[in-house]
Structure 1
Amino acid sequence: MSGPELTRRQSLGLAAMAATVGAVGIGASAAAAGSAPPFQTKIDFKDPKWNRDSYARLDADIDPTKEKIGWFRGNVYGVRDNEPVRPLFIIDGFSFVRTKRLEDGSYRRMLREVGFYRDIKTGEILKTWHNPYTNEDVRVVPIANDPFNFTISEFRPQPPSYGGMNKDKPPPEPFLLDWRYGPDDTVIVTTDIHMLYQNALQPDKWVRESSGAFNRVSEMFTYVIKRKDLENPKLTHVKAVGQWSRITPWLPWMLMGQAPGHISYFCSFGAYDSVNDIPADIRETARAMDPKWLAAPTEDYGPSLSSLENYAREQKPAPVPAGWTPPQPPPPRTLPPK
């Protein structure tokens, strides 16, 4: 899945390289330590290699001796016909990511992430949740993905395979993202992905957990970056803040079956400076699960699965009560007579 790590260069060699090609925007933050590869900093929205290097610096730290700690937090909503969108709970999570430079100049991004659901009113971490659609208490299963890896190259990444569930293999195309200049000397970039693939939770086995034979999932990201940081040859990681949205079937632990409707995540994200910046309750809950969640992978392994595939591997189908049917949305509303 990955090639060997790029051989480290001596600090003197890196410094000389930076001095030689600095005029065209090549830099490395850890030149003194010799731990980071050269990268492009001169902004060129139409250059696939600049897109590769810039996105890798946003998504991770291209110095393989360092790890980036990402955070995400927001609300999760239930969406059904004939009723307002309903806030269900808060999602609060973090990730640790490391990169490995490959022989062709691309980056292997190696990540593990956890996310915990909080009560929408109290903010407490949920172990059980009262499902208002079914009027029952259900056991909450947090997000725990280890790993979620992919390669950042000058070609657009292939969609995740989710352990072979997603068969979509579009032809190669240059890695060109939707960049634009924003106000106050910022740069804004948006990415999205839209998938329809076979569900690991097939409804004949996972009657109450499965939304159907296929999953329809979309994810949308918006990053806001300081332009001076993007152009800074000393920064192997560029901090950004932004928003992440995800549209996905009902979460399997909600036990909604093939009920009409779906889930929508709407979150902010950014990066922490230290593990101590992670909110103490979710940090210690993750540590109690396994200390590995508080460090980035050091090796490339797989498969890379989403929480849906992990659920199929780690959980068991819930019992189906006699006469159970999926909850249905309210009937259509009608306008009052004139």
Structure 2
Amino acid sequence: MTGHGGQGLDRRGFLTAGAAMGGLASLGMGAAAGPAFAATRRIPGASIRGPYLDLTTPFGTMTGYARLSGNIDLESTTHGWYQGLVMGVAPGGAVRDICGFRGMSSYRLVALPDGERGYRRLLREVVYYYDLKTGEVMDEMVNPFTGEKVRVVDIANDPFNHTIREYLGPPPNYGGLNPDQGPREPIPFLLDWQQDGDRLLTSRHIHLYYRSALQPDKWPRESAGENVQVSELFFFNISLDDMQNEELTTVRHGGTWTRVTPWLPWMLMGQAPGHCLYLGQMASVPTLADVPEHIVRDTERRHPEYLTAPDSDYGPNLSSLEMYALEQEPAPVQEPASHE
């Protein structure tokens, strides 16, 4: 295998994760690598360095990543879908399965203003939590750590936009909760591209620590603390021939997504020690018809506007925690439940 230098994730790129359950079973993926889509056609001499893109350069990485993140025709909407497992990690016992998750995102690329080289990605994303026994999306569930019946809240982020350039930008601002630290030297946008036969592999990650929108004094049952500690890790499995096919303005791919995050606020765990761990597989596909039918049905029923990408660049970009603080009300305080 051959590889070249990489960077951490400057902004949360896209939430496209899914597991080997449901519709993924028909896609023929490896357990660790995610869906592995066949090449559209063979490109003689395809490698990390060409013949179309030299992925060891910032321009090649920017253009390649833009084609993974949308369609550089600047017209078409592309989609991500994801499915996987949410687990709870608490002291004094084994990790527990909490529920499954699945969902989709819709996004498109637009040109940057004033002729600047790069792309603006306009995205909205939705996630549903489902019962691992029945496969049904849940509106309520029994918290396996407390035994309390809780109301389940979908993730519905509209928008979560970001800019793709030849250099890394600042981390997500989350409406001012994670303020920019000021001017810094530009860092070239380079990824750790690895060639494995006719496959192209790479990854991105981000580690964040910022002030929570759910402060314990107002949200005693929902808040895990005054600050949020979150990590996201993305792994991409791509056809090398497709990446080096100049005729393709978008590149279909699969991979895996991992997220380390505080207890979900609707679990009503308060400041109990521990956290949630998401692990799923992901796919990015060129049309809505390529998204598994059960995820499209979920979205038609619960959040139909998420079947299409944003039509303009609006904001602010907020994560599910900030959206929860805006849209929900604090749960009534009660006597603390025991955590087994």
Task: Give 2:3's aligned residue.
Answer: none
Deviations 1:19-73 (A, max 9, x none): xxxxxx9xxxxxxxxxxxxxx9734233111111110101111122101111111
**In structure 2, how many angstroms separate the alpha carbons of the residues matched to 1:119 and 1:289?**
16
Tell which structure's C-alpha radius of gyration is larger.
1
Match of 1:300 in 2: 313
Matches of residues 1-338 of structure 1 in structure 2 within 5 Å? 42-102=52-112, 103-169=115-181, 171=184, 172-182=186-196, 184-321=197-334, 323-324=335-336, 327-328=338-339
Question: Structure 1's 87 and 290: CA in aligned 2 closer, same or farther, altered over 3 A?
Answer: closer
CA contact (8 A) 2:68 2:284 kept: no
Deviations 1:203-228 (A, max 9, x none): 00000000000000000001011111
Which residue matches 1:12? none
Give, in whole Å, the separation in 2 of the partners of 1:226 and 1:287: 31
Shift of 1:281: 4.5
Partner secondary structure for residue 148 of structure 1:
coil
* C-alpha displacement of 1:157: 2.9
Letter in 2 for 1:165: L
Deviation at 1:280, TM superposition (A): 4.2
Give the gaps of 5 or more residues in structure 2. Answer: 1-45
When the two chains are superposed, the root-mean-square deviation of aligned CA atoms in Å is 1.8
Q: Distance in 2 between matches of 1:279 and 1:50?
A: 31
Q: 1:292 to 1:229 in 2, by over 3 A?
A: same
User: Which amino acid counterpart does residue 162 of structure 1 have in structure 2?
Assistant: Y
Query: Equivalent pairs: percent with the same residue?
Result: 46
> Residue type matched to 1:175 in 2?
F
Aligned residue identity for 2:143: N
Distance 1:275 1:45 in 2: 29
Instruction: Return the letter of the residue paired with 1:204.
Output: D
Equivalents in 2 of 1:130, 1:41: separation in Å?
Answer: 54
Counterpart of 2:258 in structure 1: which amino acid? S
Residues 242-251 or 155-164, more deviating: 155-164
Contact 2:175–2:318 (CA under 8 A) maintained in structure 1: yes
Instruction: Name the aligned partner's letter for residue 80 of structure 1.
Output: A
Residues 185 and 226 of structure 1 are in contact (CA less than 8 Å); yes or no, is this contact kept in structure 2? Answer: yes
Amino acid corresponding to residue 119 of structure 1 in structure 2? D
The equivalent residue for 2:37 is none
Paired amino acid for 2:54: D
Q: Deviations over 1:67-107 (max 9, x none)?
A: 11111111111011221111111110100000001121110
TM-aligned CA deviation for residue 274 of structure 1: 3.6
SS of residue matched to 2:299: helix
Residues in 2 aligned to 1:96 and 1:60: alpha-carbon distance in whole angstroms: 9
Q: In the TM superposition, what whole-angstrom CA distance separates every residue of 1:151-183 from its partner, at most 9, and x where no partner exists?
A: 00011132111111112437231111111112x
Measure, in 2, the Cα distance between the counterparts of 1:241 and 1:275: 16
- Structure 1 residues 167 and 119: CA distance shift in structure 2, 3 A: same
Unaligned runs of 5+ in 1: 1-24, 26-39, 331-338
Hey, what's the Cα distance between the residues in 2 that align with 1:290 and 1:265? 22
CA deviation digits over 1:245-287, x for unaligned, max 9? 0000000000000110000000100024543444445433423
Tell me the amino acid that sits aligned with residue 141 of structure 2. Answer: W
Residue identity opposite 1:308 in structure 2: L
C-alpha distance in structure 2 between counterparts of 1:57 and 1:213, whole Å: 38
Counterpart secondary structure, 2:174: coil
Amino acid at match of 1:174: P
Higher relative contact order (CA 8 A, sep 6+): 2
Shift of 1:186: 1.0
Change in Cα spacing, 1:237 to 1:277, as seen in structure 2 (3 Å) is closer
Equivalent pairs, count: 288
Q: Tell me, what secondary structure is at the counterpart of 2:67?
A: helix
- Secondary structure at the counterpart of residue 321 of structure 2: helix
**Residue range with higher mean Cα deviation, 212-221 or 276-285:** 276-285
TM-score computed with the length of structure 2 as normaliser: 0.81
Please tell me whether the aligned partners of residues 253 and 285 of structure 2 are also in contact (alpha carbons under 8 angstroms): no
Contact 2:52–2:246 at 8 Å: present in 1 too? no
